Amino acid sequence: MGNGASAEKLRLARTNFVDKVSDPVLNKLLDELQHVTVLTDAEGEAARAKPRGEKARDLIDMVRKKGAEASSKMIAVFYANDPYLCKELGLM
Protein backbone atom coordinates (compact mmCIF):
# COMPACT_ATOMS: atom_id res chain seq x y z
CA MET A 1 0.00 0.00 0.00
CA GLY A 2 1.65 3.17 -1.04
CA ASN A 3 0.80 6.75 -1.67
CA GLY A 4 -1.00 7.42 1.59
CA ALA A 5 -3.54 4.59 1.23
CA SER A 6 -2.73 3.24 4.71
CA ALA A 7 -3.09 6.64 6.36
CA GLU A 8 -6.41 7.09 4.55
CA LYS A 9 -7.61 3.66 5.75
CA LEU A 10 -6.78 4.66 9.33
CA ARG A 11 -8.61 7.96 8.87
CA LEU A 12 -11.73 6.16 7.65
CA ALA A 13 -11.57 3.58 10.47
CA ARG A 14 -10.76 6.11 13.22
CA THR A 15 -14.20 6.45 14.85
CA ASN A 16 -14.87 2.71 14.99
CA PHE A 17 -11.29 2.01 16.12
CA VAL A 18 -11.72 4.43 19.04
CA ASP A 19 -15.11 2.89 19.94
CA LYS A 20 -14.18 -0.78 19.64
CA VAL A 21 -10.50 -1.49 20.31
CA SER A 22 -9.83 -3.04 23.72
CA ASP A 23 -7.38 -1.71 26.29
CA PRO A 24 -5.14 -4.84 26.22
CA VAL A 25 -4.86 -4.60 22.42
CA LEU A 26 -4.09 -0.88 22.66
CA ASN A 27 -1.29 -1.53 25.16
CA LYS A 28 0.16 -4.24 22.90
CA LEU A 29 0.01 -1.87 19.90
CA LEU A 30 1.81 0.82 21.90
CA ASP A 31 4.51 -1.65 22.98
CA GLU A 32 5.09 -3.02 19.49
CA LEU A 33 4.99 0.36 17.74
CA GLN A 34 7.57 1.66 20.22
CA HIS A 35 9.70 -1.44 19.57
CA VAL A 36 9.76 -0.81 15.80
CA THR A 37 10.31 2.94 16.46
CA VAL A 38 7.07 4.14 14.88
CA LEU A 39 6.42 5.78 18.26
CA THR A 40 8.97 7.32 20.57
CA ASP A 41 9.10 6.23 24.20
CA ALA A 42 7.65 9.61 25.21
CA GLU A 43 4.72 9.25 22.78
CA GLY A 44 3.99 5.73 24.01
CA GLU A 45 4.12 6.71 27.67
CA ALA A 46 1.94 9.79 27.15
CA ALA A 47 -0.74 7.74 25.37
CA ARG A 48 -0.54 4.85 27.86
CA ALA A 49 -1.40 7.18 30.77
CA LYS A 50 -4.80 8.10 29.30
CA PRO A 51 -8.19 6.37 29.51
CA ARG A 52 -8.93 3.79 26.79
CA GLY A 53 -10.86 6.06 24.40
CA GLU A 54 -8.33 8.89 24.55
CA LYS A 55 -5.48 6.39 24.26
CA ALA A 56 -7.02 4.94 21.08
CA ARG A 57 -7.63 8.42 19.64
CA ASP A 58 -4.08 9.58 20.43
CA LEU A 59 -2.51 6.43 19.00
CA ILE A 60 -4.32 6.50 15.67
CA ASP A 61 -3.79 10.27 15.26
CA MET A 62 -0.05 10.11 16.10
CA VAL A 63 0.53 7.30 13.63
CA ARG A 64 -1.53 8.89 10.83
CA LYS A 65 0.49 12.11 11.11
CA LYS A 66 3.67 10.11 10.54
CA GLY A 67 2.51 9.04 7.07
CA ALA A 68 1.91 5.95 4.98
CA GLU A 69 4.82 3.80 6.18
CA ALA A 70 3.99 4.30 9.86
CA SER A 71 0.30 3.72 9.12
CA SER A 72 1.11 0.48 7.27
CA LYS A 73 3.15 -0.76 10.24
CA MET A 74 0.32 0.03 12.64
CA ILE A 75 -2.16 -1.87 10.47
CA ALA A 76 0.18 -4.89 10.33
CA VAL A 77 0.70 -4.87 14.12
CA PHE A 78 -3.04 -4.40 14.71
CA TYR A 79 -3.84 -7.32 12.38
CA ALA A 80 -1.36 -9.55 14.22
CA ASN A 81 -3.01 -8.74 17.56
CA ASP A 82 -6.72 -8.48 16.65
CA PRO A 83 -7.34 -9.80 13.13
CA TYR A 84 -11.12 -9.92 13.50
CA LEU A 85 -11.52 -6.27 14.51
CA CYS A 86 -8.91 -5.22 11.96
CA LYS A 87 -10.99 -6.86 9.20
CA GLU A 88 -14.27 -5.50 10.59
CA LEU A 89 -12.84 -1.97 10.42
CA GLY A 90 -11.86 -2.50 6.77
CA LEU A 91 -8.13 -2.25 7.42
CA MET A 92 -7.34 -5.63 5.79
Its domain, for residue 27, covers 5-88
Chain centroid, CA 30 distance in Å: 8
CA Rg value for the chain = 12
* Per-residue tens of pLDDT for the chain, all 92 residues: 445 799 999 999 999 999 999 999 999 999 999 999 999 999 999 999 999 999 999 999 999 999 999 999 999 999 999 999 999 999 98
Give CA–CA dist 78/20, Å, rounded: 13
- The per-residue pLDDT for 28 is 97
**Total-model pTM:** 0.92
Instruction: Residue 55: name the closest of 81, 87, 19, 3 by CA.
Output: 19
> Domain containing 33 — which CATH number?
1.10.533.10
Count how many domains the chain has: 1
